[in-house]
A = this chain, B = another copy of it.
Amino acid sequence: MSTETGLMAELRRVVGPRGFLDQATDLEPYLVDHRKLYRGATSLVLRPDSTEQVSAIMRLCNEARVGVVPVGGNTGYCGGATPSEDGSQIVLSLARMRRIRSIDPLNYTMIAEAGCVLAEVQAAAAAVDRLFPMSLGSEGSCQLGGNLSTNAGGTAVLRYGMMRDLILGLEVVLPDGRILDGLKPLRKDNTGYDLRDLFIGAEGTLGVITAAACKLFSRPAATVTAFVGVTDPQRAVALLSRLRTFTGDAVSTFELIPRIALELVLQHIGDTTDPLDGAHDWYVLLEIGMGRHDEQLRGAIEVELAAAMEEGQISDAALATSETQREMFWRLRETIPEAQRHIGASIKHDVSVTTSELPQFIIEACRLVQAISPQGRIVCYGHLGDGNLHFNISRPAGADDESFLRLAPNINRAVHDLIARYGGSISAEHGIGRLKREELVRYKHPVALEVMRAIKQALDPNGIMNPGKVL
């Protein structure tokens, strides 16, 4: 496609000069994924600014049988938005489609385009005293369309759910250019099959999501943020149950952090201090948001945590006393990946099991990994309330990256086989992309794969939507 073919000329006409990137320097940012696992090639990045343009692009590419790779903020962990190495695929960036089309505080909904940065969506909701609860590390650069296509999770899933739970309707351009207008911001609509959830989490392999009707919530008037020390994950699970009952399910965040992760953060990340006296094997960062009526919440939580300490369920606890301290508590959790990078290469797993079995899973998984890499430093943290662990292993102190990374296949196999025994998921929130395609075939129920392939064939018979991803 290096010369201006008929297709290229037509695509240029569709998107205009601002939407047509074909110079090497302009293309470069689209060739490498966030984790730098893949480097693809392409001669063309299209940046349409309307649904009609996306429709025209897809029609042309479908007729020409050219693969299209949709990309949002390019913050994914599985290479799902990187084109193939052979340069045959076109990249479709939604970044210019970033309008908030409408917002309706009394209906608690917003219609936003796929290119909106997540933080902009959050801000638009806050501006009308509402909450869009999706929250994750990359919210300053990730885009709504990417969050949708990967069914993003994050730190408020416990109370508000994943992206799928936050969406009422979608506008989607199908692989052949037809526009599926399902943007109704209705809470109830039982008129036929649920197509919305088919596109959410499909990682761009079934169509291009161009806009979404998002659910909004009340903004909590009071928020209690606590950092708690516990002796083991089992006690953390019991504490979660206790606090869910105590608050009437108002716990929005419940993150498990091992001592080693806290130490790495304190050592490598600025403006951090240990909120608790003494060392604890495990920590929980938790947050509870409540309405205006609840001025006594903070005091009540203090009393409840004191009772939990009395009973030996927790070892210590500190409540954030200011917004600054709250931010610091969050920094202790959110900079774990960055802190981990300071100690060399790591082998990562984004897995889930039931919350009740998570403590036992951690014990068994550590034992398996230690048999393969006795000195590997296991940094296993994550969203305990969702049963979702980021089970990561950093290379041994003093070892070299390369020899450690050679253990990756063995370690991955051990961890994922264990996940299978627990009936868990090998990709809790990061998706499949390119990274876990082989693992998907290995671990997914074969009938589920057959049904997925049948649906892919039905909706994208020419196989032009994000080829080589997921399936």
Listed in ascending order, the chain A residues whose CB lies under 8 Å from chain B are 104-109, 129, 150-151, 153, 157, 161-162, 164-165, 174, 178-182, 184-198, 200-202, 206, 217-221, 237-238, 241, 244-250, 289-294, 296-297, 300-301, 304, 352-357, 383, 385-388, 423-432, 436, 440, 443-445, 447-452, 454-459, 470-471
Contacts and interface: CB of A to CB of B under 8 A. Distances in A.
Contacts of A290: 248
A377 B91 CA distance: 58
Contacts of A198: 193-194, 197-198
A255 to B, nearest CB: 14
Q: How many chain copies?
A: 2
Contacts of A220: 248
A383 B189 CA distance: 13
Given A198-B198, A249-B217, A292-B246, A423 B184 contact: yes
21 contacts: A104-B354, A109-B354, A151-B194, A157-B188, A180-B445, A186-B354, A186-B424, A187-B388, A188-B425, A190-B201, A191-B427, A191-B443, A192-B449, A193-B455, A218-B244, A218-B245, A218-B249, A245-B291, A247-B291, A293-B297, A458-B458
A231 to B, nearest CB: 17
Nearest to A194: B197
A446 to B, nearest CB: 9
Nearest to A189: B425
A108 B202 CA distance: 27
B188 A248 contact: no
B445 A107 contact: no
A201 B195 contact: no
A452 B195 contact: yes
A191 to B, nearest CB: 5
Nearest to A159: B249
A448 B192 contact: yes
A174 B451 contact: yes
A299 to B, nearest CB: 9
A294 B248 contact: yes
Contacts of A109: 354
Contacts of A249: 217-218, 291
Given A184-B425, A194-B197, 10 more contacts: A181-B445, A188-B428, A191-B426, A192-B432, A194-B198, A197-B197, A248-B289, A248-B290, A248-B293, A455-B459
Contacts of A238: 106
Contacts of A161: 165
B291 A190 contact: no
B440 A191 contact: yes
Contact of A188 (B190, B429, B456): B429
A383 B458 CA distance: 37
A85 B218 CA distance: 50
A85 to B, nearest CB: 24
A297 B458 CA distance: 53
Given A157-B188, A182-B445, A106 B201 contact: no
Contact of A241 (B105, B357, B429, B430): B105
Contact of A104 (B356, B443, B449, B471): B356
